[in-house]
Amino acid sequence: MPILRSVVAKQCEEPGCPRQRQHLDRHEGFCEECGQPLAPVLVWSLPRLALALGAPLGLAVLAWALTSYIANRPRPLNDARRQELDAWVRVSDADRVVTQQEKAGLARIIGEQRLNPQEAGAYVKSVRQRLEESRQGVARGFQLAAQQRYEEARREYLRAVENDPENVVAWVNLGLANAALGHENEALDQYSRALRLDSKSWYAHYSLGLLWARRGDTEQALRHLEESFANLPASASRERRSMIRDMREAVFSTSLQRDQRFQAFLTRLGGS
């Protein structure tokens, strides 16, 4: 009985299409993914049903329709669903290219979680923009730090971690800027924050090792310097040479320079 139902959305029914069964705008005609015509999504018109079927049956149908609507209506974004979308963005955005497989993964999340596609899409776009702004902030901070404009660099890194609290490189560079400004306690907290996010970050271990060396804590310095080189990728040969040169030439604490383990460590690095 079409007169008792109305079109509230459109959906693609083509098997294998990433947008299959997603509720789309009712004015759309064809699927943007596969090009097939979209099928209407019909719902019962509750007042019309009640009038047509009579009060008792109408109330029963009303209860059934209301239950069906509640069970199938799009669910709002909560923290857990945002985290799932966040994780998808981080994986798909890692190489700045979103593949068809990754798009299908997003469609699967939206379908399984019964999310509103427009709301989910807008949220994904906002996350991607924040991550990009965080990366740009780190790049601007690098340039300022290279000019020894550490206070300005620190502000850029602060904005970077505000846009992406999981940006390990931003946390380490924020620590480096604070260390250059003499705020070593803040730097220590920020290096530690980076290691909580990525316990194998060679960059965080190396920066923390240098900080402990300046503070005269030989044990901590050696531990983090060794961890840094243990986690340094084989492809980072330029960084490796630079780090070894810095450790040989930098003025560390007297206790570290005199420590035979540190000298043996430098010898092993130089011979490998």
User: Per residue in 155-188, pLDDT tens?
Assistant: 999 999 999 999 999 999 999 999 999 999 999 9
pLDDT by residue (tens digit) across 107-125? 898 888 888 888 888 999 9
**Of 3-12, 179-188, 210-219, 240-249, the least confident:** 3-12
Determine which of 93-97, 150-154, 258-262 has the lowest per-residue pLDDT on average. 93-97
Of 52 and 80, the structure prediction assigns the larger pLDDT to 80
Q: pLDDT band at 206, cuts 50/70/90? A: very high
Does the domain at 156-271 match CATH 1.25.40.10? Answer given as: yes
* DSSP SS3 for 76: coil
Residue 241: what are its φ and ψ, rounded to 5°? -60, -40
Question: Where in the chain does DSSP place strands (E)?
Answer: 5-11, 39-44
Look-up of token digits 């190489």 = 95
Mean pLDDT, all residues of the chain:
84
Q: What is the pLDDT of residue 56?
A: 61
* Measured CA distances, 233 to 10, 115, 229 (Å): 49, 40, 8
The answer to whether residue 252 scores a pLDDT higher than 80 is no
State residue 37's pLDDT score: 79
Q: Name which of 18-27, 97-106, 194-203 the model is least confident about.
A: 18-27
Closest among 56, 114, 61, 122 to 89, alpha carbons compared:
122
Looking at residue 96, the DSSP 8-state letter turns out to be S
For 54, left (φ over 0), alpha (ψ -120 to 50), or beta? left
pLDDT band at 223 (very low <50, low <70, confident <90, very high): very high
Phi, psi of 10 (to 5 degrees): -125, 155
Whether the pLDDT of residue 46 is over 70: the answer is no
| CA angle (24 as vertex; 85, 86 as ends), nearest 5 | 5
Q: List, by residue range, all CATH 1.25.40.10 domains of the chain.
A: 156-271
At 11 the pLDDT is 78
